Structure 1
Amino acid sequence: MLDALLRYMRPVAATFFALLALLTPDNRLFLERDAALSAISSRGFIEVATRNTPTTYYEGRHGPTGFEYELVQQFAAMLGVSLTVDSQGNIDDVLDAVRDGRADFGAANLALDPIEPGILYSRPIMAMQPLVIHGPDIATPETPQDLLGLKIAVIKNSGTSRALRALQEKFPKLSWQETDELEVTDLIEMVEKGELDAAVVYAHQFKINRLFFPDVERGFALGKPQSLVWAFPKSNGVALLQAANRLIARMQHNGKLRALIDQYFGHDNYLEYVGASIFIRHTQKRLPKYEDAFKKAARRTGFDWKLLAALGYQESHWKPRATSPTGVRGLMMLTNATAGEVGVSNRLDPEQSIRGGATYLKHVKGRLQEEITEPDRTWMALAAYNVGLGHLYDAQKIAEMRGGDPYSWADVRKALPLLQKRKWYSQVRHGYARGGEPVIYVRNIRRYYEILKYVDRSRRQFHQLGKSDDTFPQTPFNTVPPVL
């Protein structure tokens, strides 16, 4: 029986290999690319090389997040596999990991570079406009010629230097530095401190970081936009690349890609302080609807209701149907996961949201070290509500590494922004974080809290005079006690 089977199979095999020899290179590639996708399907996961940056991938307060992280998650889901993230140090490392086959593809704010050896690029995902930014001590550069003689830096292989190289043909004296040791936030900080006169970054990168560096200003758009793309190993054929292109095309067609871009890069930062006079108007128009809910949540959790109200205002401006750019919802801005943890079935119900937010804040506060005393314990709990406990622990470690007190808000407050600097976040467990954000977040809440205490005290004094809330004056309170 076996001999008969072998006699039957020999001519079949010979015919197969004869046909294979006649295949064109493109057809042979078809077989190879089927094998590449089959390998991913067989092992059950796809591995992406990326970078730990605010525009790509980082750990947010409710887990991994980032514009490209969300996209690659959808790619993995389309392929029916799980996602493995390999965070690299710089763009060269990402491309090397892809080229060498240590990652299936790369997604790391990569700009299309047709001459990059060993790499195939996806169709464009979004346009990235190079932007000149400058410090406060120089005149605003308005033309390329204004860049001559300035100390300028860019991130190596990010694509921003191409516009400078194009200019160099016309202005041979134009010079700049390229670095792979720093990230965009480092460059912006160096511009603010005067260590650089200017830098060239992408407009979307500057937009999401501008609040942390208020003295850095826009100059002008430099050259044509670059295309953000994903990188694939040329040696693996084109099946995976084609699958990625189908996902990108579909999301472009149905509007989901535009919505995701707007979600991450289309909004002004919600941390902007509204000012005392606007806030007081909101205490008179919006707060009365929710004051009882804040007081009820305060009795359950032991917080001052005015602190909870200040937190709610920072999160949503007391708008029960608010939705953040990252998808958290409700007056206290809870994720689905957090809402489930604290027993909230409807995030848009203001009473449920307030109760859930207060419960979650109490939970976070309870997980802080016993050595942290009040009021620092409350400020650190608020910071963790914003950035996540893991990043707060990392900031405490950095504070200690710098000779500070990890249980002091004053020292941890100084350490949190360092989570935006590769030198520091590479040394701690949870990596990059928008560390300047919780500092501003807590400062804003403390300002709102001080105003609420002032208003509440004034109202009680007003009541002691036998007057009703209907005649309570529209207080023009324009000074806020200093809060750090």
Structure 2
Amino acid sequence: MIRKLTIFSTTLLCISVLVLGTIGCQNTKGKENNIVGKAIEKKQNDLGEILKSNKLTVLAENSATSYFIYRGHKMGLEYEILNEFAKEIGVKLEIKVVQDLDDIINQLNNGEGDIIACNYTVTKDRRNKIDFSKPIMRTSQVLVQRKPEGWEKTRKSVWEKEVIRDPAQLSRKTIHVWKNSSYYERLVNLQDELGDTIILKPLDGNIIPEDVIEMVSKGFIDYTVVDENVASINKRYYPNVDTELELSVKQRIAFGLRKQSPLLRKRLDAWLDDFMKTSTFNYIKYKYLNNSANVSKSKSEYSSIKGSKISPYDQIIKDVSGRYGWDWRLIAALIYQESKFQLGEQSWAGAYGLMQFMPTVGPTFGVYPDSPPAVQIDGGIRKIIKNFREWKSIPDSIQRVKFAFGTYNAGIGHVLDAQRLAKKYGKDPLVWDDNVEVYILNLSNPKFYHDPVCYYGYMRGSETYNYVRSIFIRYTEYKTAFPVES
């Protein structure tokens, strides 16, 4: 079977860059296969376009305050707030992790995202380039420094004499800090106030505050500056750092938006006015700023911040996916959607295991409730390949994968019904996005499932519609958080 799938397998390897436009890759016969994906367009989306596309795209950093992935599950203070907003306006939330924060404003203004969420301080310089939402919190900048050796065996009143407690003591000290940050700006101003030199070592935007705090903790550098809320989260994980010296007044942390998105900003501000008075908002803040369990998650080997694993089954997923030429992160996204990586998961309908096989289908692929993970994943991929082959009429490989996933979830009959409805109502029956998926969604409406072109009747169309979209959104996020090893 693997030999027969050689050309197909090579084609699917290209999916890992599916949104980048026309991609060439070589199959084993030396012929070039082109996959036409969706080119990134520079759109100045405002609220109307976001609602129409059913997607709100957030540019985030990989951090506990912004966004991270833990055991495949999306977390982060700002992520959870914006996820509630996305639910309020009825759209899906997509996260794009920005590897270099020095470029985040350009990415926003180029239309690569709709909102910036990276614990962003409101400054005059940034206001000249973008708009800001209502502040979600206020925080001061603090100095991060190491406590002296043996501090844990000494009274605080004793060891505290060896750390900096007055900004004037920063004269001639070396501080490593992100160059394009409000921290750097503040330290430049502090030099003028002190009338003396602070030796500033600029850091690039691809180094997150958590990493710099760790560098202080481990003795690689002596000082850095971060926001107090970031320090509060991390000092529970690095107890040998001191963060008590405040270097600024309370500053506003807010979401960044394009100046060309006034309706989005107005809607977000109105929602924040109400949401920030709720117990849900207070719980989210407590969860990330006061609950040490979430600090441990952000530092786990299964965290996108410190670890390199999505699930306990990563290596199995990589090995099995590799045999069939599928991107393991795409399969991981599907498994999370099916079972959240719970091996013994069983649905109300009797579907079981990592890939949620129905009892009538699993044995066909050699998968039973007590089958080991490798057998379950192998059977699931073979089922997906079978579905993929059933849609050989779909010319675009990415769209074909979406038809295959829709079939995996709903069965081929309902997808064929939606395809026939799409053709009848003037949509493209060979394209899933915004075409066939629209009629999948409508198959819960009697007007459509009673149509003469439909043979399989009612289905909960929203489930399959959201299923395919959620997998591809999660896949996009997995790709940025867990790059393919070179």
TM-score normalized with structure 1 length: 0.48
Return the structure number with greater helix share. Answer: 1
Q: Which one has a bigger Cα radius of gyration?
A: 1
